[in-house]
Amino acid sequence: MTGVRDLPGSRTPPRTGGWRDGDPAGDRLFLDLDGPVRLERGGVLPGVRVAYETWGTLAPDGGNAVLVEHALTGDSHVTGPAGPGHPTPGWWASLVGPGAPLDTDRLFVVCANVLGGCQGTTGPSSTAPDGSPWGPRFPEVTVGDQVLVEAALADALGVRRWAAVVGGSMGGMRALEWAVALPERVAGLFFLASGAAVTADQLGTQTTQQAAIRADPAAGLGVARRIAHLTYRSALELEERFGATVQDDGRFAVASYLEHHADKLTRRFDAGSYLVLTEAMNTWDVGRGRGGVEAALARVSARAVVAGVDSDRLYPLDLQQRVADGLGVPLRVITSPYGHDGFLIEADAVGALVRELLGT
């Protein structure tokens, strides 16, 4: 059971769909960080557990390590089948493995569940020091906090400098934060389908999703997912796939499709984590405290590939263009009818850009 952050009067928390202690670990490994972990917004965690997965073998000098950053509802399971402990198969499976763009015959690939998440890393559904779930007491975290926890994981693994940090969407935020906050530790940056700071449009959709959860934690997560999924796909794709078709059960086909994705998420995710992570996205600004976005981007020393999806209406190309301009590199455009989700679906195009970054 877990609570939901900032839900006044909530006494009986809804059941979480996230991973819990006692569930099968699957391919997860765990690192416990001794506290206190002091957070950017003033909160303190007495300790943090990080769930992560690795593929390949770390070179003696630690120089072949690549960090993959997952998006909002992703987790550490980048590749591998569904099974005990893993409700879904790997979310970027074609990118990681022997001979893949992230070739595990020569690279050591790492992916960690994000701080505030619900798939093994400390978050709202985790147990607090008093023995009950953190729930609405879980402190606010920022993208910067999440990266500092990942840096502690890198230290524990013996990785002083990543050959590359790779991420799309919310994962792109952490990838960029790594390259700006810790430039000496990032040799290569792949920034995909993301932005350097939150926009009013993103704030509008994300705060509306949060309102749905706060109004009804049990049903609200599904509503939030339906709202979000509309921003993940393009209007053209939805029109071509569904139009105004009505199914035999009387439902619009597009509504049935959204309900399907909502049901899938509620079975594997936690409402409290959804609030914490979208709030981290709401406060995202790589230029905060650094003299603005352009000044922050000037700190990056990594080789960089910046890419976006031409039909993305959540993170449109002008957001990636700003980052590309700030880093002095060309914007690479992925053509796709799938909107924002193209960064996950267009595996061949994404893989080619990863190979380009790594020189393979």
> Binning pLDDT at 50, 70 and 90, where does residue 360 land?
confident
pLDDT digits (tens, 9 = 90+) for 186-242: 999 999 999 999 999 999 999 999 999 999 988 999 999 999 999 999 999 999 999
What distance in Å separates the CA atoms of residue 135 and residue 286, rounded to the nearest whole number? 28
Mean pLDDT of 56-82: 97
- Mean pLDDT, to the nearest integer, of 269-286? 98
- Percentage of residues of the chain with pLDDT beyond 70: 96
Q: Please state the pTM of the whole predicted model.
A: 0.95
Predicted local distance difference test score (pLDDT) of residue 13: 44
CA angle 342, 268, 131 (to 5 degrees): 135
Residue 133 CB: number of other CB atoms within 10 A?
Answer: 22
Among the options 169, 194, 234, 273, which is catalytic?
A: 169
| Cα gap 146→128, rounded to integer Å | 18
Q: Is the pLDDT of residue 2 over 50?
A: no
The catalytically annotated residue of 70, 77, 86, 340 is: 340
Residue 312 is predicted with a pLDDT of: 98
The C-alpha atoms of residue 291 and residue 279 are separated, in whole angstroms, by 22
pLDDT of residue 15: 61
Q: Is 169 a known active-site residue?
A: yes
**Predicted pLDDT at 8:** 33
Which residue is listed with tokens 């994300």?
Answer: 206
Confidence bin at 1 (pLDDT 50/70/90): very low
Mean confidence (pLDDT) of the chain: 95
pLDDT digits (tens, 9 = 90+) for 150-200: 999 999 999 999 999 999 999 999 999 999 999 999 999 999 999 999 999
Average pLDDT over residues 120-127: 96
Q: Which residue ranges are tagged as binding site?
A: 225, 341
The per-residue pLDDT for 68 is: 99
Q: Is-catalytic flag, 21?
A: no
Of 305, 62, 79, nearest to 176 (Cα)?
Answer: 305
Q: Which domains does the chain have, with CATH numbers?
A: 29-200+285-358 (3.40.50.1820), 202-277 (1.10.1740.110)
Does the pLDDT of residue 11 top 80, yes or no?
Answer: no
Q: Is 340 a known active-site residue?
A: yes
User: Residue 17's closest CA among 8, 4, 6?
Assistant: 4
The arithmetic mean of pLDDT across residues 283-298, rounded, is 98
**271 pLDDT higher than 80:** yes
Gyration radius from the chain CA atoms: 19
The annotated binding site for substrate is made up of: 225, 341
**pLDDT for residue 34:** 86
For residue 197, count CB atoms less than 10 angstroms from its CB and return exposed for 0-12, middle for 13-18, buried for 19 or more. middle
CA distance 323 to 195: 7
pLDDT at 260 > cutoff 60: yes
